């Protein structure tokens, strides 16, 4: 009797035995073995802890073979022996990767291979498959990253548009920059068909203002996309964003909540950008945390580095080559003035008696003479300013300064000029008095007029 037969059965062995029993019992009832294995593999099975788990058809066939050969002992998991070296990879490359992995545990395998090639450890004629490196590191017990837990079953069909600018992907990636570790967010704009990095803008938070500025700059340089695919961040759910996309003549699609795989292309790009540049900004004294300076750095990364790296999903082409080779014409705006006009919204507001209108809970002063009227407020989203039409021209509005108004002298109404007003006709009381009390003398003073 082997040692595995005398030990207490493990939870994993009992789990395997339960699935094997289900398959064997249904086969004995006369069902086809292949259909039974497919049916069992498509179901969720509860473990002892209550967690749901699925097993592939290949694994079920392997367990059936082990059970047939060794009975229950064949279902007991055998721990793998840790291997310290690799038969396929050179020792120098393996030592370099292990050293780099110890210093930088979160570095990706492609990044480690690029470092090895740049430092000369991996010769130009030598080839190293990243899957082989991954398996070697895993056997050696090195950190290779966590595997994501499987989510509930849902419609996860992948899609990709055939031509450029048919769909534009946008998402924000949070990171820290500078010696102060300031919080920043980079808003990336990526073409769906070509993976071409169109634009990036950095801000302090993921807001509608940041998204609209990035959308304007992207549309000015690369044209207007047919569909904009966004996540459900605060800047993408704002009504201003919906209205601007509608005025651009495009469609807006929101990704599904709590399902990053549905936004897979931009999420994968975010991982690439984090591994290439973003994680290296944290704590560095030579990095300026100003959003404009960070935008300049990331825009250079997009134009000069990422867009010129071969992409597996593009058949080895770079995003730049794929984007330029597409013959679909870009939908460019007629002019910059016309494009800016689409980023201007019009809202109606009623002017209060003290010449105030409220927009987004902020009070703005209106020129005098419009109290009680309904005015059309022009809201320019690119610079976040307001204006109204007054005396035939647009006048910019400013928030009311309550402290200045408290010290300012009040305007007075102009005085009336009495000479400009005609006297009123005699009233009824005046007419009755003149009738009852005749004057002592007539209008001539009681003198007769001289004879002719």
pLDDT tens column, 262-288? 567 888 898 999 999 999 999 999 999
**CA 330 → CA 27, 121, 230, 274, 333, distances in Å?**
60, 44, 21, 30, 9
Sheet of strand 393-396, all strands in order from the earlier edge strand to the far edge: 344-350, 374-380, 385-390, 393-396
CA distance 15 to 51: 12
Bigger pLDDT: 60 or 150? 60
For 58-62, 254-258, 408-412, which range has the lowest pLDDT when averaged over its residues?
254-258
Q: For residues 125 and 452, which has the higher predicted lDDT (pLDDT)?
A: 125
3-state secondary structure of 137: helix
Instruction: Please state, for a pLDDT cut of 90, what percent of the chain lies above it.
Output: 30
Q: How far apart are CA 75 and CA 19, in angstroms?
A: 11
pLDDT one-digit tens code per residue, 190-209: 999 999 999 999 999 888 88
Average pLDDT over residues 127-156: 70
Q: What angle do CA 105, 109, 113 make, to 5 degrees?
A: 115
Domain residue limits, the chain: 3-75, 91-139, 167-325, 343-406
Residue 181's alpha-carbon distances to 170, 176, 273, in angstroms, are 25, 5, 18
pLDDT tier at 3, thresholds 50, 70, 90: very low
- Residue appearing with tokens 């017990």: 141
pLDDT band at 307 (very low <50, low <70, confident <90, very high): very high
Per-residue pLDDT at 187:
93
Q: How far is CA 308 from CA 188, 201, 250, 301, 317, in A?
A: 17, 20, 29, 10, 9
pLDDT of residue 45: 86
Residue 258 has pLDDT above 70, yes or no: no
Residue 218 has pLDDT above 90, yes or no: yes
- Looking at residue 216, what is its pLDDT? 93
| Tokens at 314, concatenated | 């593009």
- The position carrying tokens 């201003």 is 240
How high is the pLDDT of residue 153? 59
167-325 CATH pick, 3.30.420.10, 3.30.70.60, 3.40.50.2300, 3.40.50.300: 3.30.420.10
**pLDDT at residue 326, as a whole number:** 93
What is the per-residue pLDDT for 274? 92
Tokens for 86? 């690799």
Lowest-confidence region among 282-286, 289-293, 311-315: 311-315
Read off the pLDDT of residues 405-417 as tens digits, 9 standing for 90 and up: 777 776 666 665 5
Inter-residue contact 192 to 161 (CB < 8 Å): yes
Average pLDDT over residues 357-369: 82
* Residue 392 in this model has a pLDDT that exceeds 90: no
First to last CA, the chain: 167
Q: What share of the chain is helix, strand, coil (3-state, %, to 5)?
A: 40, 15, 45
- The whole-angstrom separation of Cα 123 and Cα 114 is 11
pLDDT higher than threshold 50 for residue 4:
no
Residues paired with 90 in a beta bridge: none
Which pLDDT score is estimated for 199?
A: 95
pLDDT of residue 334: 92
Higher per-residue confidence, 170 vs 137: 170
**CA pair distance 225, 215, nearest whole angstrom:** 10
CA separation for the pair 331, 240 (Å, rounded) = 22
d(CA 325, CA 303): 17
* Rounded Cα distance, 380 and 394, in Å: 12
- What are the tokens at 296? 């300049």
Between β-strands 393-396 and 385-390, what pairing exists: parallel, antiparallel or unpaired?
antiparallel
Distance CA 215, CA 223 (A): 10
pLDDT value at residue 124: 82
């Amino acid at each position: 009797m082997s040692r595995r037969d005398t030990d207490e059965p493990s939870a994993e062995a009992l789990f395997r035995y339960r699935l094997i029993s289900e398959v064997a019992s249904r086969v004995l009832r006369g069902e086809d073995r292949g259909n039974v294995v497919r049916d069992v593999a498509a179901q969720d099975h509860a473990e002892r802890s209550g967690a749901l788990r699925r097993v592939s058809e290949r694994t079920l066939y392997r367990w059936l073979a082990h059970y047939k050969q060794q009975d229950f002992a064949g279902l007991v998991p055998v721990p793998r022996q840790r291997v310290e070296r690799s038969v396929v990879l050179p020792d120098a490359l393996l030592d370099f990767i292990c050293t780099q992995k110890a210093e930088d545990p979160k570095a990706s395998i492609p990044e480690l291979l690029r470092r090895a090639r740049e430092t000369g450890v991996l010769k130009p004629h030598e080839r190293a498959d990243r899957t082989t490196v991954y398996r070697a590191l895993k056997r050696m017990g090195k950190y290779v990253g966590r595997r994501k837990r499987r989510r509930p079953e849902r419609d996860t069909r992948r899609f990709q548009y055939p031509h450029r600018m048919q769909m534009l992907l946008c998402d924000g990636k949070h990171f820290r920059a500078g010696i102060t570790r300031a919080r920043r967010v980079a808003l990336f704009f990526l073409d769906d068909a070509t993976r071409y990095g169109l634009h990036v803008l950095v801000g302090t938070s993921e807001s509608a203002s940041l998204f609209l500025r990035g959308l304007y700059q992207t549309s000015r340089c690369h044209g207007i996309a047919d569909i904009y695919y966004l996540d459900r961040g605060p800047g993408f759910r704002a009504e201003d964003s919906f209205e601007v996309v509608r005025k651009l003549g495009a469609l807006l699609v929101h990704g599904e909540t709590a399902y990053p795989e549905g936004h897979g292309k931009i999420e994968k790009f975010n991982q690439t950008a984090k591994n290439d540049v973003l994680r290296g900004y944290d704590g560095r004294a030579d990095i300026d945390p100003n959003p404009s300076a960070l935008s300049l750095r990331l825009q250079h990364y997009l134009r000069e580095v990422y867009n010129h790296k071969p992409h597996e999903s593009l058949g080895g082409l770079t995003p730049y080559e794929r984007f330029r080779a597409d013959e679909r014409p870009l939908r460019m705006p007629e002019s910059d003035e016309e494009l800016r006009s689409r980023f201007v919204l019009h809202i109606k507001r009623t002017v209060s008696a003290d010449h105030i209108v409220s927009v987004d809970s902020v009070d703005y002063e209106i020129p005098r003479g419009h109290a009680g009227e309904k005015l059309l407020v022009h809201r320019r989203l690119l610079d976040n300013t307001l204006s109204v039409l007054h005396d035939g021209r647009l006048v910019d509005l400013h928030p009311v300064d309550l402290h200045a108004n408290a010290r300012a002298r009040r305007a007075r109404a102009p005085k009336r000029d009495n000479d400009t007003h005609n006297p009123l006709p005699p009233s009824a009381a005046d007419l009755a008095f003149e009738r009852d009390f005749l004057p002592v003398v007539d209008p001539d003073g009681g003198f007769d007029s001289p004879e002719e």
